[in-house]
Structure 1
C-alpha cells in the first residue's frame, strides 16, 4: 500500500497499523483498500429552541476501496464507515462514490478539518447527514484529493466543493502526488491516490470547475501585473500582507500607553479565560458522562415501554383469537348428535348460526392475514369443517326421510283424493306447514354447503311428484266419470242435415269444455303455487313468482289456490340469475313431470265426445298461458303450451277428416242442385263462431281456409263431370254459399273474403248460363249481327247489302228463322230455365238477368240493321219486344 494511506490513526496505532487492520478486514473480499483514516463522526441533534445545537461525537474509520469491473475495466469505488470493537473491525455504513455530488466544509470548524459528504440517494432522508472531522488538514486534503481523483478518472466528473480553498488543495496535491493504476487487474497494495511519481500534473483542471476558474481569472485580472503562476501570486500576497502588518504595528506603537493598558486588561482576561476554560473542560466531561448515562437510560426505558405495549397488544390479540378458536360444548353436542324434532329446532338453528359465523371469522378479511396460516387456526378450521360435514350429513339424511314420510302418509290416506261422486280439490296447506318448520335449516345448509341442496331437492321432487300425479289422476278420472254428455260423431257429412249440421245431433256438449276448464282452474294455480313454494323453500336465488293465474279463473266454489309461502329468506336481487333459473326449471321438470298425461287424457276424452269443443278448450288454454308470466313457472308454461299443441293437433285432425269427407263427396256420381256440404259447412261455421274464445280465432280461420278451399275445388271438379249443366251447378252452389254465409261474412273477415270469391264465381256462372239460354233460340240472329260488325271494319255500311251472304234476302231469312213465333219462344225459354234449376228462388233473378242481357243484344242488332239495312226494319222492334216481355205471365 502507498505511504500515508492510513494517516490519521489514533489510539496508539500508527498509520501503517491502521491500514493493515483495514486490509485484514477486507482480505476475504475483492475490494482493494486505497486509504484509511481515523475520523470523528458527529451527528447534529436539536434541543430546545434558543439553545445551541449539540453534537454527539463517535470515533470511526473511513476506508476508501476500489474494485475493477471486468466488463468496463473501470473502478467501482466505495467509501466504508468502520467502527472498532473489542473483537475487531465492523462495517457500519457503505457509500458508493458514484452517488457523491457535494463536499461541503462545516463553517463552525475554524480548523477546516470538518466536512459533510452529500450523496444524492440520501436527499430524502429525514436525518441530517453526518459530519466527519479529520486530525489535520493534510489528512483532509489527502482524503478529499484521492476521492476527487477517483471520481474524475472513473466517473468522468467531480462533486461540487463548497466552503473549501480549492487552490490550497491543488497546491497540496502537487506536492504530494502519487500514482493510481488505470489498466490491468487491481492487486491489493497496488492502488493509491495521487498522480504518477515524479510526474507533474495540472490539478487545476481536475480540482477547479470551469465556473470557479473563470472567477479566479477575473480576480487575477484586477491586478495590473500579469500573474502566470500561483507561486508568484502567493509571494505578492505575502508581501502585501507584510506591508499591511507593518503599517498596523506602526499605528499601534504610536498609541503605546493605550496598548499597555489593553495588554494589562488582556492578561487579566486571559487568566480568567484560562480558569473558565479549565472549569468548562471539567463541566464538559461531567456533562458528557451525564448525557451518555441519560441516553442509555432513555434507550432502556423506550425499549421497556415498547415491550410493554407489544405485550399488551399481543395478549389482547391472543385472547380474541382464543375466543374465535373455542367451540362451545353445547353447540358441538347439538351439531354432532342433536335431534331434529320441532321443539329442538331453535337450538339447531342457533348452532348453525354459530358454526357459519365461526367459519367465516377464520377467513380473510375477518381474520388477519398473518393468522390465517397459523397451525392452530388451520387445525381449528379443520375441526370446524368436520363438524360442518357431520351436521350437513345428519340434516340431509333426516330431511330426505322426512319428505318421504310426509308424502307417504298423505298418499295412504284416501280422503286426500277425489272419490266416486266427489271431486276434491288438492290441499297442500298441511304439507307446506310441516315443511316450513325446516325452511330456515335449509337456508343454513345452503350457507354451510350449497352442494348438499342438490340431493335434498331431488328427494323433495321425487316425493311430491308421486303425490301430484296421484291427485291429478284421481281428479281427472272422477271429472270424466261425473260429466254426462252424449257422444257426437266426427263424420259430420255422413248424417242428415238436421243432426250433423249441429255437430252433435242436438246434444249439449258444453260440459266437456267446462270439465277441461275446471281441470285447469284447479291444477294450474296449484302447480304454480308448488313451483313458487319449491323455489322459495329450496333456496333458489330467483325473483319471486306471481302464484296465481288470471283473476277470472278462480273456482266458483270460493276456495282458490293458496299463495306461495315464503321461508323467511326473501330474495333481495332485482335481477334474474340465469344459472339459478336454469337449475330451478330442471328441478321443476323433475317435480311435475308425468302430470301432463292426465291433462292429455282429458283433452282426448273431450275430443272423442265433441271435436268442436277443441275450439273453446283452445281459448281457455290461451287465457291461462297469457296469465303465466313468471319465469320460474317455466314448466307450467310448457305444460300449457303442450296442451295447446295437443288441442290444435286434435282439432286439425277433425278438420283433416272433414276435409277428406268433402274430397270424397259422391265421387263419380252425377250431382244436381246444392251439394250437401254447403249448408252443413254453414251450420258448422256458425257453431265454431259460437265456441271461439280468446285468440283461438286464428285456429278457426285456418280451418275455414282449408275447408272452403276444398269445397270450392270439389265443386269445380264435380261441375266438370257434366258440361251441359256445369254452370247451373256452379251458380246454384255459389248462391247457396252466399246465402248461408251472409251473416257470418259481415263479422268474420276470412269468410268475407270467401263470400266475395263466391259472388264473383256466381256472376261468371250466371253470365255463361244466360248466354247459353239466349243462344239456344236466337243464336243465328246474333251470329249474323256479329259477322256484319266484323265486315264493317273493312267496308262502308252502304256496301254491306251487296256482299254475298249479307244481302237483304239473307237478312230476311235470318229474321224469319229467329223471330218467327217469338211470343211462344220466350215462355219456352222460361220453362227451360225452370227445368234446369233446382232452387226456385234463383229463377226470378236469373229471368231478370236474361231480359237485361237479351234486350241489350237485341237493341244492338236493331241499331246495326238501321245503319246497314235502312229499308229493312227489325220486327218486332225493341220497343215491341219489351212489351212482349212485359205482358209475359209466369
Structure 2
C-alpha cells in the first residue's frame, strides 16, 4: 500500500473516513422518505394488531357467553324433553284411569236415579254388576296411592308487598324533607301512589276471589225454603254449605289485615301527622318492624306528635288522610260483593254466618288502624243484611200465596213444618252478633204465617176453628225444643198456645150447642122462666153424636183424645150450671144428675 510513515497513513485514513461518513450521511438523507413510510407502516400495523387483540378478547367473551347459553339451552331442552316424556306418560295413565272411571250412559241413569220399579230391575241389576266389575278393575290396577294426593291448584296466600315497601324506603327520607320544605308538594304524589296501589289491590282481590270460588266445591240445588210450589211432604235439602261461609271468611282473613297494614304504611310513608297503629304482621309471618321506614330521627318531634296526648293530631291531616285512603281502597268492596252474591245464590241462609263473621272483624281491634277499612266492613255488613232481607221478603211472599189459593185448605199448612226446619238450620248458622238478624227474620216470618193462617181459615168459616187449632198445635209441637232456648220463638210459642185455646173453645162450644141445642135452649128458657123437658134417654145419643161430630172434620187424629177430654170437661161445666139452675127454679123437674152425666161421659 506504500505505507511509509504512520502519521501520513493516519491522516490518509482520517480523510477517507470523513469521506465515507459524508457519503453515508448523504445516503441516509436521500433515503429519509422511505424510512418515514416504513415507520408509518409499522405504526399502522401496530394499531391493527391492537385492534385485533381487542376484537379477539371481545369475541372470546362472546364465545364464552355463547357456550354458556348453549349449555343452558341444552339443559332446558333436556328438561323439556323429560317433561314431555313425563306428560305423555301421565296423559296415558290418566286416560287409562278415566276409562276405568267412565260410566256408560246406559248405566248412569240407573246408578244416579232413585226409581226401583219392577220393570227396571233388570237394567238396575246390570248397572250394579258393571259398577262392581269396574271397582274390582280399579283395585286390580294397583294404582300408586300417591296419585290420591295429586292436585291441580295451589294454596291461596296473602299477597306479598315486601319488595314494594323495601323500594319505598329509598324515598322515605326524601318525602319527609319535601314535606318540611313544602307541604303541598306531596299532594299529587299521594294521589298517584293511591291510584297505582288501588289497581294492584283490586287486581289481587279479584284474582283471589276467583280462586276462592273455583276452589270451593259448593253443593248444587239447595232447596228453596218455604216455597209454596213444593209439596207439603217435601224433604228439605240439608246439604252442608259450610264451605261457602268458610270461603268468605278466608277472603276477610287474608285481605282485611292486608288493607289495614296498607293504610298504616301509607300514612307513615306519606308523612301524615296522625296516630299510626304499627302493622301487626301478616299471614305470612312478617315481623312488626318489617315496615319501619327508619325516618323517625329526621323530625322526631313532628313524627311523634300524633301519639302525644299533649299534642293532638291535626284535623286537616286526618281529613286529608281519610280522603287519600278512600282513593286507595276505592272499589275494593266490589270484589267482596261478588263473593257475597255468589254465596247468597247457592244458600241464602249463609248470610247469617257471613253477617257474624263480618261483625267479628268490624268490632275487632285491628279495625282501629284505618277507619276506611271499618267503612268497608260496614258496607259488607249492609250488603249481607240487604241480601238476607231480600230472601226473607221472597219467603214471605211464598207464604202469602196460600191466602190466594182457590182450593179449600185443610189440615196442617205446608209452611208450618217447613218453618221449624228453617228455624233449626238458622240457629245452626248463628255466629257472633248475628242473633238480632235472625230474630228479626223470625218476627217477620211468624207474623206473616199467623196472619195468612187466619185469612185462610176465614175462607171456610165452617171449618175455620179446626184449621186454626190444628195448625197452632203443629206450630207448638214442631218448635217446642227451640222455644225453650230462643226467647223470640218462645214468645210466638205462647201466642200460638193462646190462639190454640181460643179456637178449641170456640169449636167445642159449637159442637156442644149443635148436639145439645134443645137442652141448652131449655137452659136459656129457664132463665126466661120458660120450662122445656129433655128426655134423659136422649143424652146418650147426643153424646155419641157429639163425639162423631168432633171427629168428622179432624185431619190430625192425634189431637182427638185431648180435644174430646176438653169437650167433655166444658160440657160437664155447662151441664152443672144448667142442673144448678133447674134445681133452684124447678126442683120437681126430673133431669140426669151431675154424677150420672159424669159417669156417662167417662164411659164414652
TM-score, reference length from structure 1: 0.48
Which of 581, 584, 597 is residue 321 of structure 2 equivalent to?
A: 584
What is the match of residue 596 of structure 1? Answer: 333
Q: Work out whether residues 305 and 313 of structure 2, in 8 Å CA contact, stay in contact via their aligned partners in 1.
A: no
Given the alignment of the two structures, is residue 884 of structure 1 paired with residue 600 of structure 2, yes or no? yes
Question: Partners of 1:648 and 1:563 in 2: how far apart?
Answer: 38
Structure with the higher helix share, 1 or 2: 2
What is the match of residue 243 of structure 2? Answer: 511
Q: Deviations over 1:519-554 (max 9, x none)?
A: 0000000000000000011100111226459xxxx8
Shift of residue 782, structure 1, vs aligned partner: 1.3
Matches within 5 A, 1:270-285: none
Q: Work out whether residues 545 and 630 of structure 1, in 8 Å CA contact, stay in contact via their aligned partners in 2.
A: no
CA separation of 1:546/1:499 partners in 2, compared to 1, >3 Å: closer, same or farther?
Answer: farther
Which of 856, 869, 873 is residue 573 of structure 2 equivalent to?
A: 856
Given the alignment of the two structures, is residue 838 of structure 1 paired with residue 571 of structure 2, yes or no? no
Q: Deviations over 1:608-635 (max 9, x none)?
A: 0100000000000011000156655121
Q: Work out whether residues 274 and 305 of structure 2, in 8 Å CA contact, stay in contact via their aligned partners in 1.
A: no
Q: What is the DSSP-based 3-state SS (H/G/I as helix, E as strand, rest coil) of the residue aligned with 1:431? A: helix
Given the alignment of the two structures, is residue 530 of structure 1 paired with residue 262 of structure 2, yes or no? yes
Q: What is the DSSP-based 3-state SS (H/G/I as helix, E as strand, rest coil) of the residue aligned with 2:291? A: coil
Which of 495, 501, 519 is residue 230 of structure 2 equivalent to?
A: 495
Matches within 5 A, 1:530-569: 530-545=262-277, 547=279, 559=285, 565-567=291-293, 568-569=295-296
Given the alignment of the two structures, is residue 783 of structure 1 paired with residue 518 of structure 2, yes or no? no
Shift of residue 720, structure 1, vs aligned partner: 0.5
Given the alignment of the two structures, is residue 871 of structure 1 paired with residue 588 of structure 2, yes or no? yes
What is the match of residue 379 of structure 2? Answer: 642
Given the alignment of the two structures, is residue 571 of structure 1 paired with residue 304 of structure 2, yes or no? yes
The count of corresponding residues between Structure 1 and Structure 2 is 439
Computing the radius of gyration over CA atoms, which structure comes out larger, 1 or 2? 1
Q: Work out whether residues 655 and 703 of structure 1, in 8 Å CA contact, stay in contact via their aligned partners in 2.
A: yes
Question: Partners of 2:286 and 2:564 in 1: how far apart?
Answer: 66
What is the match of residue 698 of structure 1? Answer: 436
Which of 154, 163, 169 is residue 430 of structure 1 equivalent to?
A: 163
Q: Work out whether residues 231 and 414 of structure 2, in 8 Å CA contact, stay in contact via their aligned partners in 1.
A: no
Question: Partners of 1:560 and 1:667 in 2: how far apart?
Answer: 63
Question: Partners of 2:601 and 2:369 in 1: how far apart?
Answer: 80
Question: Partners of 2:287 and 2:582 in 1: how far apart?
Answer: 90
CA separation of 1:577/1:499 partners in 2, compared to 1, >3 Å: closer, same or farther?
Answer: farther
What is the match of residue 712 of structure 1? Answer: 450
What is the match of residue 129 of structure 2? Answer: none
Q: Work out whether residues 159 and 204 of structure 2, in 8 Å CA contact, stay in contact via their aligned partners in 1.
A: yes
Q: What is the DSSP-based 3-state SS (H/G/I as helix, E as strand, rest coil) of the residue aligned with 2:275? A: coil
Q: Deviations over 1:782-830 (max 9, x none)?
A: 12212323x3xxxxxxxx4xxxxx24xxx22xx12xx433223323322
CA separation of 1:590/1:539 partners in 2, compared to 1, >3 Å: closer, same or farther?
Answer: same
What is the match of residue 278 of structure 1? Answer: none
Shift of residue 685, structure 1, vs aligned partner: 0.9
Question: Partners of 2:500 and 2:418 in 1: how far apart?
Answer: 20
CA separation of 1:630/1:571 partners in 2, compared to 1, >3 Å: closer, same or farther?
Answer: farther
Which of 395, 408, 423 is residue 685 of structure 1 equivalent to?
A: 423
Q: Deviations over 1:395-443 (max 9, x none)?
A: xxxxxxxxxxxxxxxxxxxxxxxx9554232111121122122212211
Question: Partners of 1:522 and 1:726 in 2: how far apart?
Answer: 57
Q: Work out whether residues 537 and 566 of structure 1, in 8 Å CA contact, stay in contact via their aligned partners in 2.
A: no
Question: Partners of 1:754 and 1:612 in 2: how far apart?
Answer: 21
Q: Work out whether residues 628 and 637 of structure 1, in 8 Å CA contact, stay in contact via their aligned partners in 2.
A: no
Judge which range, 527-536 or 732-741, deviates more: 732-741
Shift of residue 873, structure 1, vs aligned partner: 2.4
Q: Deviations over 1:338-358 (max 9, x none)?
A: xxxxxxxxxxxxxxxxxxxxx
Question: Partners of 2:305 and 2:407 in 1: how far apart?
Answer: 75
What is the match of residue 206 of structure 2? Answer: 473
What is the match of residue 68 of structure 2? Answer: none
Q: What is the DSSP-based 3-state SS (H/G/I as helix, E as strand, rest coil) of the residue aligned with 1:821? A: helix
What is the match of residue 444 of structure 1? Answer: 177
Structure 1 stretches of 4+ moved >3 Å: 419-422, 489-492, 494-501, 546-549, 558-564, 628-632
CA separation of 1:434/1:475 partners in 2, compared to 1, >3 Å: closer, same or farther?
Answer: same
CA separation of 1:641/1:561 partners in 2, compared to 1, >3 Å: closer, same or farther?
Answer: farther
Question: Partners of 1:727 and 1:704 in 2: how far apart?
Answer: 25
What is the match of residue 479 of structure 2? Answer: 741
CA separation of 1:738/1:625 partners in 2, compared to 1, >3 Å: closer, same or farther?
Answer: same
Structure with the higher strand share, 1 or 2: 1
What is the match of residue 102 of structure 2? Answer: none
Given the alignment of the two structures, is residue 612 of structure 1 paired with residue 349 of structure 2, yes or no? yes
What is the match of residue 183 of structure 1? Answer: none
Given the alignment of the two structures, is residue 626 of structure 1 paired with residue 372 of structure 2, yes or no? no
Matches within 5 A, 1:261-410: none
What is the match of residue 544 of structure 2? Answer: 827
Q: Deviations over 1:118-144 (max 9, x none)?
A: xxxxxxxxxxxxxxxxxxxxxxxxxxx
Q: Work out whether residues 325 and 372 of structure 2, in 8 Å CA contact, stay in contact via their aligned partners in 1.
A: yes
Shift of residue 880, structure 1, vs aligned partner: 0.8
Q: Work out whether residues 225 and 422 of structure 2, in 8 Å CA contact, stay in contact via their aligned partners in 1.
A: no
Structure 2 alignment gaps of length 5 or more: 1-151, 297-302
The structure with higher relative contact order (CA 8 Å, sep 6+) is 2
CA separation of 1:856/1:655 partners in 2, compared to 1, >3 Å: closer, same or farther?
Answer: same
Q: Work out whether residues 522 and 561 of structure 1, in 8 Å CA contact, stay in contact via their aligned partners in 2.
A: no
TM-score, reference length from structure 2: 0.69
Q: Deviations over 1:289-342 (max 9, x none)?
A: xxxxxxxxxxxxxxxxxxxxxxxxxxxxxxxxxxxxxxxxxxxxxxxxxxxxxx
What is the match of residue 281 of structure 1? Answer: none
Question: Partners of 1:667 and 1:511 in 2: how far apart?
Answer: 38
Q: What is the DSSP-based 3-state SS (H/G/I as helix, E as strand, rest coil) of the residue aligned with 1:443? A: helix
What is the match of residue 763 of structure 1? Answer: 501
Q: CA RMSD in A?
A: 2.1
Given the alignment of the two structures, is residue 653 of structure 1 paired with residue 390 of structure 2, yes or no? yes
Q: Work out whether residues 511 and 546 of structure 2, in 8 Å CA contact, stay in contact via their aligned partners in 1.
A: yes
Question: Partners of 1:613 and 1:548 in 2: how far apart?
Answer: 30
Q: Work out whether residues 544 and 571 of structure 1, in 8 Å CA contact, stay in contact via their aligned partners in 2.
A: no
CA separation of 1:475/1:563 partners in 2, compared to 1, >3 Å: closer, same or farther?
Answer: farther
Question: Partners of 2:224 and 2:509 in 1: how far apart?
Answer: 43
CA separation of 1:837/1:548 partners in 2, compared to 1, >3 Å: closer, same or farther?
Answer: farther
CA separation of 1:655/1:774 partners in 2, compared to 1, >3 Å: closer, same or farther?
Answer: same
Q: Work out whether residues 356 and 432 of structure 2, in 8 Å CA contact, stay in contact via their aligned partners in 1.
A: yes
Q: Work out whether residues 542 and 632 of structure 1, in 8 Å CA contact, stay in contact via their aligned partners in 2.
A: no
What is the match of residue 50 of structure 1? Answer: none
What is the match of residue 407 of structure 2? Answer: 669
Matches within 5 A, 1:217-232: none
Shift of residue 561, structure 1, vs aligned partner: 9.0
Question: Partners of 2:446 and 2:539 in 1: how far apart?
Answer: 43
Given the alignment of the two structures, is residue 457 of structure 1 paired with residue 190 of structure 2, yes or no? yes
